[in-house]
A and B are shown apart, each in its own frame.
Chain A
């Protein structure tokens, strides 16, 4: 999809992973970086060396034990930040001041102050800030965006989208994701930012009002695991988001993404579970499982990040720091709404 960079004569972009707290994502980005000629995975850093090794070792990448040394002037071009969400700002600011472009895991931060500080630090340093909104890179989402941009669906007026899973609990995930101080909250912030961004990306509209119902009803993880958000967009379109951790332990699939939208001239029904085969195996798990056959969108996202760094501008469909901030503002408005009995709340509208 980006033939400009494949096999290009220019040298690969030198990238380090800073923070591995979002371990499965850090591992996936490491795989993407290690398997593309566009990039070189220079090193993997985490405050916890064992966690860094769990990401680096599979790809023969060195583990950096000192962040300052890693960021010291030299060959490093960019960093992928996968630390706990509340640490993104610290790592992004350090990278920006070292002149490194930043690719941040989502959500961009736990507070709008932190998100704005990241945007400012990167702008002042003249480096790019990307946010890992991977839904933009799904082939079907690109097709839907083309249909919307060509106005063949008319004006989008209604959307229902979902991104459900389970709480990211140990041992597969480090414990911080269900600790609100480090992650900003539970299911609401974890996945609503993906859905909000997908809607903003597809419609080009901003969210002007948010109402939410949340509850800790399923897992006893100490944060909300059920969250339903209602959005009003600036053209009067409305959306319902389900980002609940409502997938049972023995479900045939672990995560889903669906998008159903209706415009004045047509509608869309997208369900990523369709890209899978059904399997029953005595070796995998009890009962039916869905085995997906979709391309890895992380690879495309990382490829586009590297191409953006090379070309000196954010390439479509990359998400910027501002995109990360907007999605965070909607999530925080959702928390404010849920705390006030589902009042409609305007997302903070300050400009970055």
Chain B
């Protein structure tokens, strides 16, 4: 591949046989998946399904796909792989059905809202020879990836401590506001912090063994500010901050620090600016240094794994582990007790 230009690579992939992908859900993240598939080359998004037909049609039209009202209708169409971009309460059911229909699956994070649902996905994936990837997109964000690569290359020695802080305002984009209802999203300690839990375990390269968490209510809702502290089997420790309680005008920021026995890596999305184009009439175009590259690379990795027949770039077990840590953090914040993840069987 290295000798091919991007266009040649795309042509070659297309010549083999384009992957036919269906996307379930037509919200914000589904849009990112669709755009990334369109960029990936050798992939056709042939269908978008959503309970809101107008949303499905609007998103499908951007890539010339068909619109459906649900997964079952979409399965009548020939597809190789399905992206599950619905709220997490339906991830297990949809993923299991897609696998039973013989599809490869890219399932958005968190894998589920309960350990039981997470286990259903894990069992279905184990019983299938299809690729099941969990959408922990931080692993593909260029900044997060660069840090992981440096750690992997041994540049900071053994990781001792990792702090991942993601803070912003209450997301306004979810259909009917499902994100704002804790019983449907888990709140930021699940929906947002699960990114951090996956990233920490991935970079540290060791499973989480204990978590404690504290959370506070804000006008954005119950437990919309949370801090979880995690111990890993290696002895390393980590902290994940997740907030939907910040003022909208401050914007969303990510701050990461990784302290190792021989160095330190840190960055702050608030200070990573790609610059801007300012016009005399007040117009501004911000040059986003990260952009949607994370989704593009995640989707490209999925497509490649599907073509190769595996392995999954982000296996279900990793997604389940991150979700389990998040659910335990929520439990700890509710009960005021730390959770021993080596024995925990759920709330």
**In whole Å, how far is A139's beta carbon from the nearest beta carbon of chain B?**
21
B 262-283 contacts with A by CB, 8 A: 262-264, 270
From A160, A242, A262, A344, give the contact of B212 (CB < 8 A): A344
CB neighbours (8 Å) of B214 from chain A are: 211, 230-232, 238-240
B 207-245 contacts with A by CB, 8 A: 210, 212-219, 225-227, 229-231, 235-237, 239, 241, 243, 245
CB neighbours (8 Å) of A239 from chain B are: 214, 227
Scoring A residues 233 to 271 as 1 if CB is less than 8 Å from chain B, else 0, what string do you get? Answer: 000111110101011100100000000101011110100
Q: Establish whether residues A246 and B225, one from each chain, have CB atoms under 8 Å apart when the complex forms.
A: no
Task: Count residues of B near A (Cβ-Cβ below 8 Å).
Answer: 42
Instruction: Check if A298 is an interface residue, CB within 8 A of chain B.
Output: no
CB neighbours (8 Å) of A265 from chain B are: 247
Instruction: Give Cα A342 to B227, complex, Å.
Output: 14
Q: Establish whether residues A157 and B247, one from each chain, have CB atoms under 8 Å apart when the complex forms.
A: no
Instruction: Give Cα A344 to B212, complex, Å.
Output: 9
Instruction: Give Cα A265 to B246, complex, Å.
Output: 8
Instruction: Give Cα A217 to B212, complex, Å.
Output: 20
**In whole Å, how far is B329's beta carbon from the nearest beta carbon of chain A?**
11
Instruction: Check if B303 is an interface residue, CB within 8 A of chain A.
Output: no
CB-CB nearest 8 A-B residue pairs:
A158-B225, A217-B160, A238-B214, A246-B259, A342-B338, A240-B227, A157-B216, A213-B237
Q: Establish whether residues A242 and B217, one from each chain, have CB atoms under 8 Å apart when the complex forms.
A: no
Instruction: Check if B250 is an interface residue, CB within 8 A of chain A.
Output: yes
Q: Establish whether residues A342 and B231, one from each chain, have CB atoms under 8 Å apart when the complex forms.
A: yes
Instruction: Check if B206 is an interface residue, CB within 8 A of chain A.
Output: no
Q: Establish whether residues B216 and A158, one from each chain, have CB atoms under 8 Å apart when the complex forms.
A: yes
From A158, A228, A247, A267, give the contact of B239 (CB < 8 A): A228
Instruction: Check if A328 is an interface residue, CB within 8 A of chain B.
Output: no
From B212, B218, B245, B261, give the contact of A230 (CB < 8 A): B212
Instruction: Give Cα A338 to B212, complex, Å.
Output: 11
| Residues of A that sit less than 8 Å from B by CB | 157-158, 160, 209, 211, 213-215, 217-218, 226, 228, 230-232, 236-240, 242, 244, 246-248, 251, 260, 262, 264-267, 269, 341-344
Q: Establish whether residues B163 and A242, one from each chain, have CB atoms under 8 Å apart when the complex forms.
A: yes
Q: Establish whether residues A226 and B161, one from each chain, have CB atoms under 8 Å apart when the complex forms.
A: yes
- The answer to whether A264 and B241 touch (CB under 8 A), given A158-B225, A226-B161, A230-B212, is no
Nearest B residue to A217 via CB reads B160
A–B pairs, 30, beta carbons within 8 Å: A158-B216, A158-B243, A209-B336, A211-B212, A213-B212, A213-B231, A215-B160, A217-B158, A217-B160, A217-B161, A226-B237, A228-B161, A228-B237, A228-B239, A230-B213, A232-B336, A238-B226, A240-B229, A240-B239, A240-B241, A242-B163, A242-B239, A246-B264, A248-B259, A267-B167, A267-B247, A269-B250, A269-B270, A342-B231, A344-B338
CB neighbours (8 Å) of B237 from chain A are: 213-215, 217, 226, 228
CB neighbours (8 Å) of A238 from chain B are: 214-216, 225-227
CB neighbours (8 Å) of A232 from chain B are: 214, 336
Instruction: Give Cα A343 to B236, complex, Å.
Output: 18
Q: Establish whether residues B229 and A262, one from each chain, have CB atoms under 8 Å apart when the complex forms.
A: no
CB neighbours (8 Å) of B337 from chain A are: 343-344
Instruction: Give Cα A256 to B338, complex, Å.
Output: 29
Instruction: Give Cα A240 to B215, complex, Å.
Output: 10
Q: Establish whether residues B218 and A264, one from each chain, have CB atoms under 8 Å apart when the complex forms.
A: yes
**In whole Å, how far is A144's beta carbon from the nearest beta carbon of chain B?**
15
* Additional A-B contacts beyond A228-B237, A238-B227, A244-B259 (12; CB < 8 A): A157-B218, A215-B161, A217-B158, A226-B237, A238-B216, A242-B163, A264-B219, A265-B247, A266-B247, A341-B340, A344-B336, A344-B337
Nearest A residue to B255 via CB reads A260
CB neighbours (8 Å) of A342 from chain B are: 210, 212, 229, 231, 338
- The answer to whether A341 and B210 touch (CB under 8 A), given A238-B225, A248-B264, is yes
Instruction: Give Cα A160 to B226, complex, Å.
Output: 10
Q: Establish whether residues B231 and A226, one from each chain, have CB atoms under 8 Å apart when the complex forms.
A: no
Instruction: Give Cα A209 to B227, complex, Å.
Output: 14
Nearest A residue to B238 via CB reads A228
Instruction: Check if B67 is an interface residue, CB within 8 A of chain A.
Output: no
Q: Establish whether residues B231 and A267, one from each chain, have CB atoms under 8 Å apart when the complex forms.
A: no
CB neighbours (8 Å) of B158 from chain A are: 217
A213, A236, A343: most-surrounded residue (chain B CB, <10 A): A213
CB neighbours (8 Å) of A211 from chain B are: 212, 214, 229, 338
